[in-house]
Amino acid sequence: MTADQAEQAEQQVASWLRAADRVTVLTGAGISTESGIPDFRGPQGLWTKDPAAAALFTFQNYLADPEVRVRSWRARRDSPAWQAEPNAGHRALVDLERAGKLRALITQNIDELHQLAGSDPGLVIELHGTMRWATCLECGLRTPMPEVLTRVAAGETDPPCLRCGGIQKSATISFGQSLDAEVLAAATRAARDCALFLAVGTSLQVYPAAGLCDHAVASGARLVVINAEPTPYDEVSDAVLRAPLGVVLPRLVSAAL
Ligand code: NAD
């Protein structure tokens, strides 16, 4: 795509955004890379650098292998997300919401940076849960993650649930774990009930999240993919933009309001 074509595509998307009163946005790890949190599949992604890590961190391995749990707790403790601040991309979506255009903000991210940026928690649908809470896989007790990480720092390498002794895990969806049915239903409704669906910073390789694009298209919404690299949905989308999200989202939103 030439620079002229890219600029035309961006103007076209801004005009759709201006005209639309119900916009549903799906975000992925790409919106948080500019906040210092690596994605999985981008050029600097955790799995691009260490493909074996993807296979290791499945739900089944977490349950079966104490060593996987020990490594997982260390990774949670060391996550760059604890120091991360929302960036211009997150804030642009807050501006879109305040303009009354946002139907829903569906995110695959677990970092809560949308809420920290000021997005209405009532509009944010966390498809894959949140890393800021831990949950007991036996009794379901939820504990703020910093409390559990304090125990890790004090030397507990795999801290059990304080109520029942069960295995604890971050309140996130791992590979091999089902999504919460109500959360997925809310996301599907939002994908079906919009005029414009923006897929932002996601490789669209993880289902059922990526399938939300199919729901949007089948319901007659325009689909726009904004991502640094190609996705399997580029061909069925109405437009593809490839600029960095911290630059393109503020530009699009200010041109549309
Ligand atoms: P992914 O890693 O598969 O894809 C991210 C995409 O974003 C890549 O195609 C990359 O090219 C693009 N990208 C990266 N930085 C960008 C930028 N600044 N501007 C434009 N594009 C950019 O991520 P995914 O599709 O979200 O799926 C991975 C899963 O990983 C999700 O389920 C998510 O829960 C989890 N995850 C979450 C976080 C987080 O919460 N921040 C971080 C890593 C992984």
Q: What is the token pair recorded at 207?
A: 């289902």
Instruction: Take atom 17 of ligand 1 and give the residue whose Cα is closest.
Output: 244
Ligand 1 pocket, residue 32 CB under 6 Å: yes
Q: What is the pLDDT of residue 54?
A: 74
Q: Looking at the annotation, which residues are catalytic?
A: 128
What would the pLDDT profile of 92-104 be if each residue is shown by its tens digit? 999 999 999 999 9
Q: What is the pLDDT of residue 5?
A: 87
Cis preceding linkage at 208, omega within 30: yes
200 with 255, same domain? yes
Ligand 1 centroid–CA 145 distance in Å is 22
Whether the CB-CB separation of 140 and 161 falls below 8 Å is answered with no
Give the range of the structural domain holding residue 142, as residue numbers without chain letter.
42-78+129-172
Interacting residues of 182 by C-beta distance below 8 A, sequence separation 6+:
none
Q: What is the token pair recorded at 187?
A: 């996301």
What's the domain count of the chain?
2
140 with 217, same domain? no
121 with 236, same domain? yes
Task: Tell the residue number behind the tokens 């999985």, with chain if given.
Answer: 40
Q: Which CA distances in Å does 159 have to 65, 66, 76, 80, 137?
A: 14, 11, 13, 21, 12
137 with 25, same domain? no
Specify the ligand 1 atom closest to the Cα of 27: 26
Q: Report the largest interatomic distance among the alpha carbons of the chain, rounded to a whole angstrom.
A: 61
31 with 54, same domain? no
Q: What is the token pair recorded at 119?
A: 């997005």
- CATH code assigned at 51: 3.30.1600.10
Number of other CB atoms surrounding residue 70 within 10 Å: 13
Q: What is the pLDDT of residue 21?
A: 92
- CATH code assigned at 200: 3.40.50.1220
What would the pLDDT profile of 176-199 be if each residue is shown by its tens digit? 999 999 999 999 999 999 999 999
Domain boundary among 120, 143, 172: 172
Reply yes or no on whether the pLDDT at 51 is more than 90.
no
164 with 63, same domain? yes
Cα–Cα distance between 142 and 156 in angstroms, integer? 18
What would the pLDDT profile of 74-83 be if each residue is shown by its tens digit? 999 999 999 9
161 with 255, same domain? no
Specify the ligand 1 atom closest to the Cα of 201: 7
Ligand 1 centroid–CA 35 distance in Å is 12
Reply yes or no on whether the pLDDT at 52 is more than 80.
no
Q: Which of 32, 34, 40, 78 to mutate to test the pocket of ligand 1 (most atoms within 8 A of CB)?
A: 40
31 with 95, same domain? yes
212 with 234, same domain? yes
134 with 95, same domain? no
Ligand 1 pocket, residue 89 CB under 6 Å: no
13 with 140, same domain? no
Specify the ligand 1 atom closest to the Cα of 131: 40
Ligand 1 pocket, residue 126 CB under 6 Å: no
Cis preceding linkage at 51, omega within 30: no
19 with 46, same domain? no
Cα–Cα distance between 152 and 94 in angstroms, integer? 35
Of 123, 130, 91, nearest in space to 105 by CA = 123
